[in-house]
Structure 1
Amino acid sequence: MRGLSDKSLKRLNSKKGIKLFLTEENMTTAKAVRIVNHEVRLKRLQEELIQLQHWVKRNNEKVVVIFEGRDAAGKGGAIRRITQHLNPREFRVVALPKPTEEEKGEWYFQRYINQLPREGKIVFFDRSWYNRAVVEPVNGFCTQEEYNIFMNQVNDFERMIIESGIRLVKFYFSITKIEQAKRFREIKASPIKKWKFSTVDQKAQRLWDKYTGYKTTMFDKTNTELAPWIIVKANRKSKARLEAIKHLLNIIPYNHQEIDSYYH
């Protein structure tokens, strides 16, 4: 095929490449090359994630990775790619439901403290304590006083858990309003995904600007030197997933290979 490198041709002639043309409608050569190249890069990065997990276990490290972002930003998909080949006994994914009546009477951070990792473990939060920074006030799920208390305490809370030996990584997946609307349409049209479309999602577009205001305040007050935010541009899901993995591999000081080489 004209214009393709030997490497790209070899990948197109693999089982994965051939399957794309057999199973996907309107598959083009350019799109197939892009997909197989992405799969190769993802696999290599996932191999490094296994090494990272070994390092965490071997050195009794404790790692917390939180994923925040607007509804349909791709947080869950990124977590699934990160954890796909990890040892399930050595990590947990936490996606807490709304608090019970008993939990509402507790210190806000208590239910999250109960989920923090033991030595040698990694915990991934699919939304975290930052619910109270954006989602809850936007949707009226907390009072102004509760929001103010959270904003006054969160930096100290993170400082305490970091000083206790936890490595904290904070991701924010950023998408545009147009992209969010497009993903909502796809979710509602899918028989296997439409259950994901919640009452909160229904109001997300209408409340877009209000979300933006609280998000901006969150960044201003909680993007600290000790616990900075990593903003991942997520309009392209595949690229966002690779970027998140690459950031994670570069932040955690395990004995890793040169990650940048995986983009070539």
Structure 2
Amino acid sequence: MPLQNAHPDHEELMQRIARDLVDSYDEELELEIEDRNVDEDGAPVGVDKAARAAYFRELFRLQGELVKLQDWVQHSKQKVVILFEGRDAAGKGGVIKRITQRLNPRVARVAALPAPNDRERTQWYFQRYVAHLPAAGEMVLFDRSWYNRAGVERVMGFCSDDEYEEFFRSVPEFEKMLVRSGITLIKYWFSITDDEQHLRFLGRIHDPLKQWKLSPMDLESRRRWEEYTKAKETMLERTHIPEAPWWVVQAVDKKKARLNCIAHLLDQLPYHDVMHAAVDLPARMRNPDYLRQPVPANMYVPERY
């Protein structure tokens, strides 16, 4: 895709892509800062520093609440399933990363299933997803889910009309069954505009650290924007049920989408603080006969930094 033909204002577009790239790299660094303060000297040029600092303050506050939620889920033996759906580059992975970043991966797991293999294609459609459902005290976040059939499989012709209709007959009953079994099921659709997806794809094309995110299927989905829109509208209409309603996240602004989604997720569950016994660090046992053996010098990783 020639960049010079992608937007009428080439210079403005390149500046926007550059700001997005710097912003994403800088955020990954800032999230690792132990004192959780934004380094004003390192903030990217052209960014509202006050707004950026406010974003991080709120993100860290919400992540603290997510830790409380995790403790409650584990303590009260809850079973929680959260589905994240949306177009390619809509920001699903970004919000999943921020949700799970401070959590115990044994409690909050991410399920991002690849395309089904030959054996899985002969199974009951929901079978491979059932294997990833939570046990008591677990949360599972599906980065795309069984709704693949209503989206990519429908648009790309990977399922027949009969299979497509059977999905819509089955999925409400399947989800009602999950809820009756004690699973809390929360479904999010991340909504972006045509122009925003176009911009994000260009950003990936010109970012060597993100080019792996682009597949031939992603590029084809871009071409079939209108078909995906129709499939999405049908999906939301036919699977928005009281037991498991859809929630649409406005995702053109990635930072606002993350905060809004996390805040909404916290509102969906009646979690509370779980009291923990005070932790006392025990004294180390010392044996006078113990002698630590030296490690051969050739076993050490070279200290280049």
Question: Residues 144 and 119 from structure 1, CA distance in 2 versus in 1: closer, same or farther, beyond 3 angstroms?
Answer: same
**Alignment partner of 2:197: what SS?**
helix
**Alignment partner of 1:170: what SS?**
strand
Residue 170 of structure 2 corresponds to: 153
Q: Within 5 Å, give how 1:96-115 maps onto structure 2.
A: 96-115=113-132
Asked whether the equivalents of residues 43 and 49 of structure 2 are also in contact (C-alpha less than 8 Å), the reply is: no
Corresponding position: 1:202 with 2:219: yes
Q: Within 1, Cα distance between the matches of 2:36 and 2:80? A: 36
Task: Using the TM superposition, give the Cα deviation of residue 139 of structure 1 relative to its aligned residue in structure 2, in angstroms.
Answer: 1.0
Residue 134 of structure 2 corresponds to: 117
CA RMSD, 1 decimal: 1.3
Asked whether the equivalents of residues 20 and 27 of structure 1 are also in contact (C-alpha less than 8 Å), the reply is: no
1:21 to 23, 41, 49: 41
1:212 to 207, 229, 236: 229
Residue 262 of structure 1 corresponds to: none
Q: Within 1, Cα distance between the matches of 2:186 and 2:134? A: 13
Task: Using the TM superposition, give the Cα deviation of residue 204 of structure 1 relative to its aligned residue in structure 2, in angstroms.
Answer: 2.0
Q: Within 1, Cα distance between the matches of 2:183 and 2:56? A: 31
Q: Within 2, Cα distance between the matches of 1:94 and 1:203? A: 24
Corresponding position: 1:229 with 2:249: no
Q: Within 1, Cα distance between the matches of 2:124 and 2:117? A: 13
Residue 26 of structure 2 corresponds to: none
AA matched with 2:229: T
Task: Using the TM superposition, give the Cα deviation of residue 23 of structure 1 relative to its aligned residue in structure 2, in angstroms.
Answer: 5.2
Alignment TM-score, normalising by the size of structure 2: 0.76
Corresponding position: 1:79 with 2:96: yes
Alignment TM-score, normalising by the size of structure 1: 0.88
Q: Flag the structure with more relative contact order, 1 or 2, with Cα contacts below 8 A and sequence separation at least 6.
A: 1
Q: Within 5 Å, give how 1:56-71 maps onto structure 2.
A: 56-71=73-88
Q: Deviations over 1:92-125 (max 9, x none)?
A: 1000000011111100000001110000000000
Corresponding position: 1:42 with 2:59: yes
**Alignment partner of 2:247: what SS?**
strand
Q: Which runs of 5+ in 1 are unaligned?
A: 1-13, 257-264
Higher-Rg member (1/2) = 2
Corresponding position: 1:244 with 2:261: yes
Task: Using the TM superposition, give the Cα deviation of residue 205 of structure 1 relative to its aligned residue in structure 2, in angstroms.
Answer: 2.3
**Identical pairs, percent:** 48
Task: Using the TM superposition, give the Cα deviation of residue 142 of structure 1 relative to its aligned residue in structure 2, in angstroms.
Answer: 1.3
Question: Residues 15 and 129 from structure 1, CA distance in 2 versus in 1: closer, same or farther, beyond 3 angstroms?
Answer: closer
Task: Using the TM superposition, give the Cα deviation of residue 15 of structure 1 relative to its aligned residue in structure 2, in angstroms.
Answer: 7.6
Corresponding position: 1:143 with 2:160: yes
**Alignment partner of 1:112: what SS?**
helix
Q: Within 2, Cα distance between the matches of 1:90 and 1:217? A: 34
Residue 55 of structure 1 corresponds to: 72
**Alignment partner of 1:101: what SS?**
coil
1:165 to 182, 188, 193: 182
**Alignment partner of 1:97: what SS?**
coil
Q: Which segments of structure 1 move beyond 2 Å, counting only runs of 4 or more?
A: 14-17, 19-24
1:185 to 202, 211, 216: 202
